[in-house]
Amino acid sequence: MNQELEKKIRQLLDIEDIKILKRKYAGYCDDNYNPAGISELFTEDAIWDGGPIGFAETRQGIKEYFTTTSDRISFAMHYMVNPIIEVEGDEAKGQWYLWQPMTIREGNQAMFLVATYDDIYVRQNENWLFKHVKLSVKSRKPYQGEFG
């Protein structure tokens, strides 16, 4: 096999691995914002930036942030769609759309959250991890029905 084809195959495999990383993140978020699971997907010096929703630095800080998230949100289902992922060696960037039905504990208020993610990933010990996650909320509107 020629080098160019091998490079393209490696890049496609990396993109699929990053999609799996993002799916694991969504799964842990949908599991009552499992702080141990979420934090293990990040580098030691990572940043999670949710803008007005919250901010955390370092793997431990991210774990602590998500420890209290389920106190505010009783139900969430993260739909990460339409990724654009660009890989350069052991680093990558990704953009995703988020559509999230959720329920806020206070008042048992169902909501729809629409946002975008801008992520930076790095490969460490043959595994892709989040280096920087930026969530940009586009819309957060009440829903009159129920979820969960």
What end-to-end distance do the CA atoms of the chain give, in Å? 50
For 72-96, what is each residue's pLDDT tens digit? 999 999 999 999 999 999 999 999 9
Other Cβ atoms closer than 10 A to 7: 10
Spell out the SS3 assignment of the chain: CCHHHHHHHHHHHHHHHHHHHHHHHHHHHHCCCCHHHHHCCEEEEEEEECHHHCEEECHHHHHHHHHCHHHHEEEECCEEEEEEEEEECCEEEEEEEEEEEEEECHHHEEEEEEEEEEEEEEEECCEEEEEEEEEEEEEEEEECCCCC
For the full predicted model, state whether its pTM sits above 0.85.
yes
Question: For 3-143, CATH number?
Answer: 3.10.450.50
For 95-137, what is each residue's pLDDT tens digit? 999 999 999 999 999 999 999 999 999 999 999 999 999 999 9
On the question of pLDDT at 142 being above 90, the answer is no
Summary mean pLDDT of the chain: 95
Q: Residue ranges per domain, the chain?
A: 3-143
Phi, psi of 34 (to 5 degrees): -55, 100
